[in-house]
Amino acid sequence: MDLVLLRLSALGDILRVLPAWARLREGFPDARLRAVVEDRHAFLLEPFPWLEPVVVRRRKLSSPLTAMGELRRVAREVAGAEASLDFHGILKSALIPRLAGIAERWGDGVTKEGAGLLQTQPLPFRRQSRYDQALGLAEAFGTRHGVPGLGRFSPVLKDVALPTAPEAWVADGRPRAVLVPGASRRGAIKRWPLRHWRTLARMTQDRWQLRWSLGPEEAELREWLPAETGIPALPACGLWELASLLRQADRVVVPDTGLLHLSVLLGVPVVTLFGSSDPVIAGLPDGTGTVLRTGIACAPCRERRCLRRDCLEQLGPDQVRAALEG
C-alpha cells in the first residue's frame, strides 16, 4: 500500500499527528508512507526513518504567483499513491492529492476553505482534541481496510534514538522538573506572567531539581533569569538534543506551546497552563498530564491578543505547585 500523509505545519500540530502516523505504520508495516510537510518542519520526521518526507517550499506557497506551481510539483511527487490522509484540512493540503489524481482521499473532519469538498472520505466533525482527531482518522482508515484498533495514543518519542545532549542534570536524589516560561511570538498571549514563574521557582527549588528551558526567543531571559533565581538553564541546543534532556526529567511545566507536545510524545508527565487555549481542542491525551486553567467567563477565547490576560494572571503559583507535587 502507498499512502500519502499531509500536515504542512506547524511544529506543535505536526507533533500531535505523529502518534497517528505511527499507528498507521504499526497497522500497515509494509506500506510506503510519504509525509507532506513544509520545508521548515521536515526535520521533525528525522526520528522516523519509515516516513519519506515530501517537502513543500513555504516561500513558494506564500506568493499567489508561485503557489499553484508548487502544489502541482508536490502532486507529481506523490502521484500513484493509493490513498491520502489529510491531517491539516486546508485548501492547500486538500489540493495536493486531488491534483495527484489519488482516488481515495480521506480527511479528519476539521476543514477550512472548502477543503472537505475535495476529499472523497471526509470524516464528520467532532469536538475533540487534535490528538484524538488525528487518531480517529487513523482508526477510520484502518477499520475500512481491515485493520481496526489504530486509534490508541502512545508516546512515540519515548524510546526512539535521540542525539546525545550536553550534561545538564546532577544526581542529587531530587525529582527533576523543567520550567518553560516562553512561547512563540505568535503565541505570546499564552505566556504565564514571569513573576509567577519566579515565585514558583522559589517555592519548589528545595524539593525539586529545576532547570529553565529558554529558547532563542528567550535570549534576554537567559542573560539574567538563571543568575537571579539560582536555577540553571538547559544548554542552548537543537530540538532533538533538547528532547533528550527533557526525556531525563520527571515533570515539565509548560504553557500551550510546541514543547508541551514534545514532552507529551516523550512520555514525560506535564503540567500545562492554559488561558486563551481551548482545553478540549488543545487538550492532552488521557494520562499524560494536568491542564490548569482558571475558568473565567471569557476563557477560552482562542484569541491572539488581549490587554488584560486575566485568565493567566489569576492562575497562581500555589495552584501550579500543587499540580507539580500531585
Q: Tens-of-pLDDT digits for all 326 residues of the chain?
A: 999 999 999 999 999 999 999 999 999 999 999 999 999 999 999 999 999 999 999 999 988 899 999 999 999 999 999 999 999 999 999 999 999 999 999 999 888 999 999 999 999 989 999 999 999 999 999 999 999 999 999 999 999 999 999 999 999 999 999 999 987 665 678 899 999 999 999 999 999 999 999 999 899 999 999 999 999 999 999 999 999 999 999 999 999 999 999 999 999 999 999 988 998 999 999 999 999 998 887 888 777 777 667 889 999 999 999 999 98
Q: Is residue 213 part of a domain?
A: yes
Looking at 86, 121, 144, which one is the last position of a domain?
144
CA angle, 200 then 236 then 44, to 5° = 100
Same structural domain for residues 15 and 135? yes
Whether 253 is in a domain gets the answer yes
Asked if 129 contacts 280 with a C-beta cutoff of 8 angstroms, the reply is yes
Phi-psi region of 225 (alpha: psi -120 to 50; beta: other; left: phi over 0): alpha
Q: Which of 144, 168, 201 is the last residue of a domain?
A: 144
Terminal CA-CA length for the chain: 46
In a domain, 160, yes or no: no
Same-domain status, 189 and 112: no
Q: What is the largest CA-CA distance in the chain?
A: 61
| Nearest CA-CA partner of 66 in 77, 56, 80 | 56
Output the domain CATH number for residue 26: 3.40.50.2000
3-state SS class at 230: coil
Residue 131 lies in a domain: yes
Number of domains in the chain: 2
Which residue segment(s) compose the domain that 224 sits in?
Answer: 176-325
On whether residue 156 sits in a domain, the answer given is: no
Asked if 118 and 180 sit in the same domain, the reply is: no
Same domain, 233 and 277: yes
Q: Are residues 191 and 119 in the same domain?
A: no
Instruction: Collect all residues with Cβ–Cβ distance below 8 Å to 136 and sequence separation of at least 6.
Output: 108, 109, 123, 126, 128, 151
* DSSP H stretches of helix in 2-157: 11-27, 58-61, 67-78, 91-100, 130-144
Asked whether residue 165 is domain-assigned, the answer is no
Shared-domain flag, residues 305 and 188: yes
46 within domain boundaries: yes
Q: Which helix (H) or strand (E) holds 113?
A: none
Q: Could you tell me the pTM of the whole model? A: 0.96
